[in-house]
Amino acid sequence: MESVSRFLRCPDSSFFLFGPRGTGKSTWLHDTRPDAIWLDLLDPEAQRLYLARPERLRELLAGRPHVLDVVIDEVQKVPALLDVVHGLVETDKRLRFVLTGSSARKLRRGEWNLLAGRLVEASMHPFMAAELGAAFNLKQALASGLVPLVWGAADPDRTVRAYASLYLREEVQAEALVRDLGGFARFLEAISFSHGSLLNLAEVARECQIGRKTVEGYLDILEDLLLSFRLPVFTKRAKRHLVGHSKFYYSDAGVYRSLRPAGPLDRPEEIEGMALEGLVAQHLRAWIAYRGSGAELYYWRTKSGSEVDFIVYGRDVFRAIEVKRAARVSSKDLRALRAFREDYPEVSPCLLYLGKERLAIDGIPCIPCEEFLLGLHPDKAEFPQ
């Protein structure tokens, strides 16, 4: 696959770079930090050396005093290196460290809190449609997702099916994060039914036949591995009775499709509808992260059942977005957006659908989903209109 220019901008100072495996963190850093000293902690020999003697990093830097950029790839493999980096950051202000990670679990202990106050955080997400440009294909994105490792593969569908296995083998099993790997695998399937829906952990626990506390722990692991996220309900200046549960999403539409079991009773359009909603969600999260304006992503749902899929709220943005897997839309599809607009006249609402034409119904723009995704760019001050 040809090189794709990413929207993430490199901070001037030392920083943490988080993102799931396969999202292109290492490739991006090789492009932006070509002369850096590089520690690849996925390499077994390097991991063994620095587990035994993390202070070896000081010796490495002392031997190359002219190099000021240092990349430590997958730093969670050797958390003790955080102590060394913390000391180096304090004593030599010229050094610029980039610490990458695909799991935050081990970094929550020890020097993490001290170092986190001195290093900014950045995140790498799956491809955005606008990064791919003319190469973007909505059908492929819904089927196999936008993780660069998968998108650039010779057989994306087969690769995405192996992607969850990669995490199970290399992160969960190798790090002994769970005792019952079979139970965790059942959990990954069971919670896929909650993708794009209100999260009911008790129901997931019954489906997996494991305890609710265990399911809570499994969900924490999934989020620590950056494979999922939850959306809170938007409650600011609430005028109606709202639900309290968060919504759950896998971090990539392809990961969801690879883990979601499908049988004769499952309607393909229902599964694809949830994949489409998740695809929009991951784009909105990436847009917010790359833009760096401090906006947040929510959803809105009343206890009477009126729901808006996404609310983007920040200092300079307030958008309500509804997603419909349909080639045609009518006024009834805009009921929830109209209700939200009644409560929040300041909002800019829009509906995304699978048609080809831009429409305006009841004063609300209805935008083809593919056009919206291709126009979503963090350097632009506004959403596609």
pLDDT tens digits, 169-214: 777 776 666 777 888 888 999 999 999 999 999 999 999 888 999 9
Tell me the average pLDDT of the chain: 90
Q: Is 302 found in the same domain as 208?
A: yes
User: What does the DSSP assignment read for 180-247?
Assistant: -HHHHHHHHHHHHTTBTEE--HHHHHHHHTS-HHHHHHHHHHHHHTTSEEEEPBP-TT--S-B--PPE
Q: Above 90 in pLDDT, residue 72?
A: yes
Beta strands in 103-147 (DSSP E): 120-123
Instruction: Say how far residue 288 (Cα) sits from the centre of its chain.
Output: 11
pLDDT at 114: 56
- In our burial notation (b when 16+ CB lie closer than 10 A, e otherwise), range 53-62 reads ebeebeeebe
List, for residues 315-338, the tens digit of each pLDDT value.
989 999 999 999 999 999 999 999
Q: 49-53, 93-97, 263-267: which range is least confident on average? A: 263-267
pTM higher than the cut 0.75: yes
Please give the tally of structural domains in the chain. Answer: 2
Q: Is the pLDDT of residue 368 over 70?
A: yes
* 198: in domain: yes
Q: Give the end of a domain, one of 91, 123, 155.
A: 123
Which of 78, 97, 123 is the endpoint of a domain? 123
Q: What is the 3-state secondary structure (H, E, C) of 150-175?
A: HHCCCCHHHHHHHHHHHHHHHHHHCC
Residue 270 counted as domain residue: yes
The torsion defined by the Cα of 130, 131, 137 and 143, in degrees rounded to 10, comes to -110
Domain endpoint, select from 73, 93, 123: 123
Q: What is the pLDDT of residue 116?
A: 65
Q: Which residue has the tokens 């229902």?
A: 270
Question: Beta partners for 302?
Answer: 242
For residue 246, tell me if it sits in a domain. Answer: yes
What does the pLDDT average to over 5-31? 91
Whether 174 and 318 map to the same domain: the answer is yes
Whether residue 90 is contained in a domain is answered as yes
Enclosing domain of residue 90: 15-123
What is the number of alpha carbons within 13 Å of residue 211 lying toward its C-beta?
Answer: 4
- Cα 99 from Cα 104, distance rounded (Å): 11
Tokens of 200: 């009911």
Whole-number pLDDT of residue 99: 94
Residue 9 lies in a domain: no
Stated as kind and residue range, the H or E segment containing 88 is: helix 81-91
CB 225 within 8 A of CB 252: no
Mean pLDDT of 141-161: 93
Encode pLDDT of 74-103 as tens digits: 998 898 898 899 889 888 889 999 999 887
- 117 and 155 co-located in one domain: no
Tell me, yes or no, whether 361 and 231 share the same domain.
yes
Does 173 share its domain with 103? no
Indicate if 302 and 366 belong to the same structural domain.
yes
Assigned domain for 147 exists: yes
- 327 burial via Cβ count (<10 Å: 0-12, 13-18, 19+): exposed
Calpha distance 144→130 (Å, rounded): 17
- Asked if the structure places residue 7 within a domain, the reply is no
The CATH number of residue 102's host domain is 3.40.50.300
Neighbour count for residue 299 (Cβ, 10 Å)? 22
What proportion of the chain, given as a percentage, has pLDDT over 70?
94
SS3 5: coil
- What's the rounded Cα separation, in Å, for the pair 134 and 143? 18
**pLDDT score, position 50:** 96
118 and 66 in a common domain: yes
Ranking 92-101, 110-119, 258-267 by mean pLDDT, the lowest is: 110-119
